[in-house]
Structure 1
Amino acid sequence: MAVPQLNAPLCASPPVPTVGIRHVDLPHNERFVVVGNHLAQHDRLSLTAIGLAVHIQSLRTGTRISVKKLAERFPEGEDRIADALNELERYGYLRRTRVRLPSGQLITTTESFNNPPAMRVRAPGQPVPVPRREAPPPSVEPPVPDPVAGPEPVPLRQQDGPRPRPTTEHPRPTPPRPVPAALLADLRRHDPRLLLSERDIGRLAPAVDAWLERGVAPDAVRRTLTAALPAGKLHRPAGLLRYRLTELLPPPLPAAPPSAPRPDPFQTCDACDLAFRAPEPGLCSACATAAVLMAS
């Protein structure tokens, strides 16, 4: 009979679990987008803004996005999506520009920047980033933007010591556009109950901008927002205004029909004083025919 050794362990110790997250990485061969850590680990963007930036960067060129379309796609709602878009625009990941078409219509173009730190440190003479070409570009292309402001680039890891903490600037919030902001701030002159905060004005300004892009005069927008208000105290004036701006948004103006050609003005015949239409003064058709016969 075998005698167990006295110095043998009675049982094997369990494996020590890994502390923190453990990554299980597999390569992507299709349908993927490259995202930098300057966005994924941004220390000032909200989680909603970071996720929305990743979604926008994964879209094909020419895809139309707006607060309303994104709210239909995601459950966050228009307010949180509008705030996230403002954050991305503030830190250089997004740029929205108003462009006038040859027909006179105003549209808003959106540009997505996947690497604002690299654009900030781009030396003069380097080639300008080329936009994606997965889909046909939109009908109106704004000029290539200058390098936008964004977070400072994260220094590379040093082998001889710990990585220094990145230093980031504190950019100022981007103010809303002058005309929509002034229109919303002026509503309290017409009704003191429509007193809005700066945050409410920043959220409602894109909706007012949509009305102006469709050819509605600022006075007409103001009348729509202030007419037939309910009696008593307004507990959420911003919500009421947002509902009217969204539900009462008029359709775009149709293209103007081509104008009919104007007829030639009346002229007086130099020979018989008969009135006839012609581009310039001279002889009527009968007198012109008689003059040709006499000359021949």
Structure 2
Amino acid sequence: MDTQQNTALTRALAEVPGPLPTSGVIHISLPHTDRFTVVGNHLAQHPELSCTAVGIAVRIQSLPQGAKVGIKALAAHCREGEKRIAAALRELEAHGYLRRVRDRLPNGRIITRTVFCNRPAALLHPRRPAGAPPRPAKPEPAPAQASVQEPAPASVQEPAPAPVPAPMQEPAPLPASAPVPMQEPAPVQEPAPVPVCHPTAAPPAPELPVAPVAPPAPSAPLFVPRVPPPTAPKAPRRPLPRPGELTPELDRAATALLSDLHRHAPQFTLSEDDVRRLVPGVAAWLERAVRPDSIRRTLTDDPPQPLKHPAKLLAHRLTELLPPAPPGVDDLAALDRPRPRFTVTPFQTCDDCDRAFRSPTPGHCRDCRETRAAYAQAAA
């Protein structure tokens, strides 16, 4: 008595046509009369869009014209955060459902308009309107030199319409007393055979220069995705670095470093095959005079959580973070080469006025020298 029975669901299941499936979903389709949005299966069942992107697309499609569909506006009404909403909008923009364009208003202000298309594939292949007349078929060009034209086969020629027989006039009624003579039916006359016109040989047409027909220019796509789609071909991965010569000393040192990583970072426990595959990369680092503790710290610092493939992470870091080769003896000699020096004249203090001036030897400044020269000339 305490179990609540949903009689409405039972009644709705009874009205579903056909036998109910033993597994999977059972649809109870009730017609909508108001507040509904038509969504295509190309969006609802898109194989490359995430469920978050599909949900955001349905949300945008259900909003009226002029509604705010920015990241913050959607995050205020959805449970997803701004990062997931931004990623979903980028997916929709990559597949043509969403487009953001910048427009300049008459007053000079630049705004960003968000355009949402519920069927982007239909924009690339527009359909002909229902009332538009069909396009006339292009006539096939006649050959340059026409010889005797062959008559069309009899099966292709359309038969002439049969003549319509004239309506038979009824005879005038005779008096009742006079007996009606019996008349034999007139023989049915067959229609005369229609003459068939056989085409005659046409004179050869003059040869005209035929201009080459340029191929039609490909139409530019309406939506240019800013982010490459997930199905775009990816650049090949760079190979694992290798030393110039894998000496036994480098091999032993690289093997010991990789085998000892789990003591410093337990999540980097490698198998024997992983160690043998990563030894050339570590040997290339050791060949470039990198200390083992620096290699260990670079490879194991701040790993992602959870770490599912430690060997792939190590191969990626060994390849992308490879340091440059150490400079050679000639390069170091160029650094140690003495630079050209410039002679700087020191400051001196004038013995008379204590003014600072530049001179290799102490003495008097220029003004004091001129004054002394003038006094000596006057005294003479």
Give the structure-2-normalised TM-score: 0.30
Flag the structure with larger Rg: 2
Larger RCO (CA under 8 A, 6+ residues apart):
1
